[in-house]
Amino acid sequence: DSPAMSAGDWSRLLEELSPCLFAESLVMVSESGQPLGHFSISVQPACYEEQGGQEEDCYLVHAASQGTINEVPCGSSITGRSCTPALHTSLCCICSRLQFRAHPLDRKTHVVKRGGRLVVTKIIEEGEHEVQTQSVSYNCASLHGLISEAANLLVLRVLARRRAVPQNTTFLAFDTEARVCTSTYTAMGFQKQLVGMTEVEVFVIERAVCPDEGIPMTWQFYFLSDGHLARRVQVGSPATMLLQQLPVLIDVDEVEPRPVFKKKPLDWEEDVQLYSQFLDRKVSWGLLYCLCHVCFHMELYFSLLQVPSQWSYPAGPRFPRAGFLQPQERMNPHPHIH
């Protein structure tokens, strides 16, 4: 549904989702490399039942981070259900928590599909008290091209496996105030990164959520060739998600196309072996022809020997035209005189 992605792109996207269903874990580190916490993502196939009793295939996405930044415990999580064929959102819950000593702050955003509408509810809690609640409803028909934060993780893995991002790839998204805005994806090229003791090549994708008002939020994702995340950086954040151990890469068997052999001109007169075979076959066929010719004449000769002599018999019913074989002097010179 994105202007930059055609129907063929969407069909290819669905075929590429299968190798993107896996779980991974990274470490949250500071700018100096000190560990601060952990970060994990998991995607798995599922099926859910709609209100009318009809079942629909979907993908369950869960991402969570937990750590301590500037001596303040914090955490965030994304839980979502994205449905095929266009990864439209039926459920998404985004939670973030800052554990201040006096006033813990929780921010929650719930996105739920109800009938033909998408209801977005934003809740802010301070301690045990609910400070603010905001709810807005959108017509699903007006949200073509919407990619939730949960579906975004799947889209990133597919683009990472392609090792390319179409130009001007833009989707709809929700900003931090639960308002519809645009989300852009840009390829930043290839870089070298050290994972453990191994240097690997990573493909970098930058994603930016651009609200109508305010400063865009930007992330940079560094991917291995199979879609595993090697690093994630949020611009302006002191924490970085980093892969410390190289995983076993997911290899998808590709069906090799059948080889095509071009026809080559055959010059049998110049090929010594073919020319020799031609002469041998020519001699063999010549001998066979002569043998068949001799056998035919011999068979005809012996068959004539078995026919009774026509010189001693007049023409009759058995040999109606044998008369022309009789000697001329024995034939009646006056056939009309009896």
Are residues 76 and 187 both part of a single domain? yes
Average predicted confidence (pLDDT) for the chain: 80
Of the two residues 75 and 92, the one the predictor is more confident about is: 75
Question: Looking at residues 79-84, what average pLDDT do you find?
Answer: 80
Q: Indicate if the pLDDT at residue 304 is higher than 60.
A: no
Are residues 40 and 152 both part of a single domain? yes
Of the two residues 30 and 15, the one the predictor is more confident about is: 30
Of the two residues 201 and 338, the one the predictor is more confident about is: 201
Of the two residues 63 and 271, the one the predictor is more confident about is: 63
In a domain, 178, yes or no: yes
* Local confidence band at 253 (pLDDT 50, 70, 90 cut-offs): low
Are residues 163 and 299 both part of a single domain? no
Question: Looking at residues 281-294, what average pLDDT do you find?
Answer: 62
Are residues 283 and 188 both part of a single domain? no
Tally of domains in the chain: 2
Mean pLDDT is lowest, of 59-68, 89-98, 169-178, 192-201, for 89-98
* Local confidence band at 92 (pLDDT 50, 70, 90 cut-offs): confident
In a domain, 14, yes or no: yes
Question: Looking at residues 236-242, what average pLDDT do you find?
Answer: 94
In a domain, 209, yes or no: yes
Are residues 289 and 213 both part of a single domain? no
Are residues 204 and 278 both part of a single domain? no
Are residues 146 and 293 both part of a single domain? no
Question: Looking at residues 165-194, what average pLDDT do you find?
Answer: 94
Residue numbers of the domain that contains 287: 274-303
Of the two residues 311 and 72, the one the predictor is more confident about is: 72
* Count of other CB atoms within 10 angstroms of residue 247: 14
Are residues 168 and 233 both part of a single domain? yes
Question: Looking at residues 105-134, what average pLDDT do you find?
Answer: 87
Question: Looking at residues 39-52, what average pLDDT do you find?
Answer: 84
Are residues 142 and 11 both part of a single domain? yes
Are residues 193 and 285 both part of a single domain? no
**Residue 104 pLDDT:** 86
Q: Indicate if the pLDDT at residue 41 is higher than 90.
A: yes
In a domain, 67, yes or no: yes
In a domain, 308, yes or no: no
From 242, 259, 283, the end of a domain falls on 242
* Local confidence band at 252 (pLDDT 50, 70, 90 cut-offs): low
**Residue 78 pLDDT:** 94
Q: Indicate if the pLDDT at residue 220 is higher than 90.
A: yes
In a domain, 109, yes or no: yes
**Residue 254 pLDDT:** 55
Are residues 292 and 228 both part of a single domain? no
Are residues 132 and 222 both part of a single domain? yes
In a domain, 155, yes or no: yes
- Most confidently predicted of 43-52, 81-90, 116-125, 245-254: 116-125
In a domain, 181, yes or no: yes
**Residue 317 pLDDT:** 47
